[in-house]
């Protein structure tokens, strides 16, 4: 593997950089590379941070093959530039050496509900612009999915502690173990002087399979398992139902924590998996077994009963998947982990704010709800998406929020 300097030297610094164009946060890749190669690593790190406060995170967990690396022109006939390696180094260095700028406070109070990727991003943007920010979090620490959903071997927890320290040094008020929507309601915040509220409480409720056997004692939801893996006794044979990043994270965690043999059950083919390619490859290297075209139909005491799935393509190229109930087989399982997505929690009640059919907050293209002063972004708006997509939309919401806040009377 080349050094990060050699990797940066491979970059063509394209005038119309496709890597930047296909980054949801529009990261200025050529400019960052130029600064890095000129030895101005602090400036390069600052450029990354000011554009994407979570660049130290997204450089690690982004689906690079779908964003920057996947659209590098060098990748057409050879290996794309792995910009994310340079980004990770620069972003971490910047966090480790960051001097908090002198920020002129404007005296305007804003509440942020939820300390996941969108909440952290919004808090930093508000703090940098002089707002008095209180960040409410239902858990005991910041991070949301970054802390309680992504395993430490993929994302180091010390990064989150650095972010927390930086925000506190900027003047953040942090209220952990405080769930907005139950013990404090959104409408309670405005009488206490908050001029706006940003909601980013995520989607922590796991989706069910709806199968017989789902309530048995050896069946667990991946989002619950990943919060505290040491609380679970899985046994030697573990079946994971699902094929997204959460399923892969659960499988790789089970191998490390429980030393189990892990089988992932997926009702479509390998090319249809939604997880990052790199994570799938690492799971295969680590010994995870994949059974594709398998639909779970019942959970038993020591196995998952499945039926084979047929992939059918018509003359027009349309593809559909059909279960073949004549082809039945059992996959041994001491424990079963369900990882088929998440939805919003039942406690998210915002006075006057409409919900979509999926139970998500209904907002316009700027993250505005029907309640003046209440904005939202992140998974509670879009459903589970990537961190970089949450950052990009949160930046857009911040622009509209600031316009609203500046127009409010003193």
pLDDT score at 184: 87
Helix (H, G, I), strand (E, B) or coil at 260: coil
**Domain 4-97 sits in CATH 1.10.1060.10:** yes
Helix H segments across 53-134? 55-61, 83-97, 117-128
Kindly state the tokens that stand for 162. Answer: 């650095």
**What pLDDT is attached to residue 170?**
96
What pLDDT score was predicted for residue 351? 54
* Confidence (pLDDT) at 306: 97
* Residue 66 main-chain phi, psi, to 5 deg: -100, -15
Name the CA radius of gyration of the chain, rounded.
23
Of 386, 381, 384, 385, give the one whose Cα is nearest residue 359: 381
- Mean pLDDT on 314-321: 88
User: Rounded distance, CA 283 to CA 251, Å?
Assistant: 8
pLDDT at 349 over 60: no
**Please, are residues 355 and 216 in contact by the beta-carbon 8 Å criterion?**
no
Q: Please give the angle made by the CA atoms of 232, 114 and 193, to the nearest 5 degrees.
A: 150
The pairing of beta strand 219-221 with beta strand 374-376 = unpaired
CATH class of the domain whose range is 109-204+344-407:
alpha beta
The pairs formed by 154-162 with CB atoms below 8 angstroms and a separation of 24 or more are 154/60, 154/61, 154/249, 154/279, 155/57, 155/60, 155/61, 159/56, 159/57, 159/92, 159/95, 162/56, 162/95, 162/96
- 215 pLDDT tier (thresholds 50, 70, 90): very high
39/5 Cα distance (integer angstroms): 10
How far is it, in rounded angstroms, from Cα 199 to Cα 191?
17
Region 156-168 average pLDDT: 97
Strand order in the sheet with 109-113: 173-175, 132-136, 109-113, 194-199, 374-376
**Diameter over CA atoms, the chain:** 71
Q: Which tens digit of pLDDT belongs to each residue from 50-61?
A: 999 999 999 999
382-406 per-position pLDDT tens digit: 888 899 999 999 999 999 999 999 8
State the architecture of 208-338 in CATH terms: 3-Layer(bba) Sandwich (3.50)
Given a contact cutoff of 8 angstroms between Cβ atoms, the answer to whether 364 and 376 are in contact is no
Question: 406: helix, coil or strand?
Answer: helix
Give mean pLDDT, residues 93-118: 94
Q: What are 1-52's pLDDT values in tens digits?
A: 569 999 999 999 999 999 999 999 999 999 999 999 999 999 999 999 999 9
Question: Is 17 buried (19+), middle (13-18) or exposed (0-12) by CB count in 10 A?
Answer: buried
* pLDDT tens digit sequence for 260-307: 999 999 999 999 998 999 999 999 999 999 999 999 999 999 999 999
Q: Which of 165-179, 342-356, 360-374 has the weakest average pLDDT?
A: 342-356
Residue found under tokens 């022109």: 73
For residue 131, the 8-state DSSP code is -
Q: Which two tokens stand for residue 334?
A: 């001491």
Domains 4-97 and 208-338 share a fold: no
- Give the residue among 124, 107, 116, 109 at the shortest CA–CA distance from 199: 116
Q: Where are the domains of the chain?
A: 4-97, 109-204+344-407, 208-338
């Amino acid at each position: 593997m080349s050094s990060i300097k050699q990797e940066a030297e491979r970059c063509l610094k394209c005038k119309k950089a496709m890597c930047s164009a296909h980054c949801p946060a529009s990261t200025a890749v050529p400019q960052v590379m130029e600064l890095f190669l000129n030895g101005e690593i602090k400036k390069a790190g600052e450029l990354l941070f000011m554009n994407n406060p979570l660049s130290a995170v997204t450089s690690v967990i982004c689906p690079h093959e779908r964003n920057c690396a996947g659209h590098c022109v060098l990748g057409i006939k050879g290996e794309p530039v792995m910009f994310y390696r340079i980004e990770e180094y620069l972003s971490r260095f910047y966090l480790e050496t960051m001097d908090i700028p002198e920020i002129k406070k404007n005296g305007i109070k804003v509440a942020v509900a939820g300390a996941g990727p969108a909440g952290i991003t919004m808090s930093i943007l508000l703090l940098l612009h002089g707002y008095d920010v209180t960040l409410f979090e239902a858990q005991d620490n910041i991070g949301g999915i970054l802390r309680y959903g992504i395993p430490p071997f993929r994302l180091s927890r010390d990064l989150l502690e650095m972010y927390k320290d930086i925000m506190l040094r900027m003047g953040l008020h942090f209220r952990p173990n405080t769930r907005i929507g139950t013990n404090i309601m959104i409408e309670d915040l405005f009488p206490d002087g908050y001029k706006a509220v940003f909601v980013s409480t995520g989607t922590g409720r796991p989706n069910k399979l709806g199968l017989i056997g789902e309530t048995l004692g050896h069946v667990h939801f991946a989002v619950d398992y990943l919060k505290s893996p040491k609380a679970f006794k899985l046994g030697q044979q573990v079946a994971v139902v699902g094929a997204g990043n959460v399923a892969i994270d659960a499988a790789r965690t089970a191998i490390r924590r429980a030393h189990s043999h892990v089988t992932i059950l997926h009702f479509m083919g390998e090319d249809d998996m939604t997880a990052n390619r790199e994570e799938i490859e690492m799971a295969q290297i680590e010994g995870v077994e994949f059974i594709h075209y398998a639909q779970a139909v019942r959970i038993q005491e020591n196995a998952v009963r499945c039926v084979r799935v047929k992939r059918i393509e018509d003359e027009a190229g349309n593809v559909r998947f059909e279960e073949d109930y004549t082809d039945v087989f059992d996959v041994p399982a001491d424990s079963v982990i369900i990882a088929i997505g998440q939805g919003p929690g039942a406690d998210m009640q915002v006075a006057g704010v409409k919900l979509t059919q999926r139970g998500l907050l209904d907002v316009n293209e700027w993250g505005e709800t029907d309640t003046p002063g209440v904005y939202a972004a992140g998974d509670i708006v879009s459903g589970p998406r990537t961190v970089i997509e949450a950052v990009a939309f949160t930046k857009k919401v911040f622009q509209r929020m600031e316009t609203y806040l500046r127009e409010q009377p003193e």
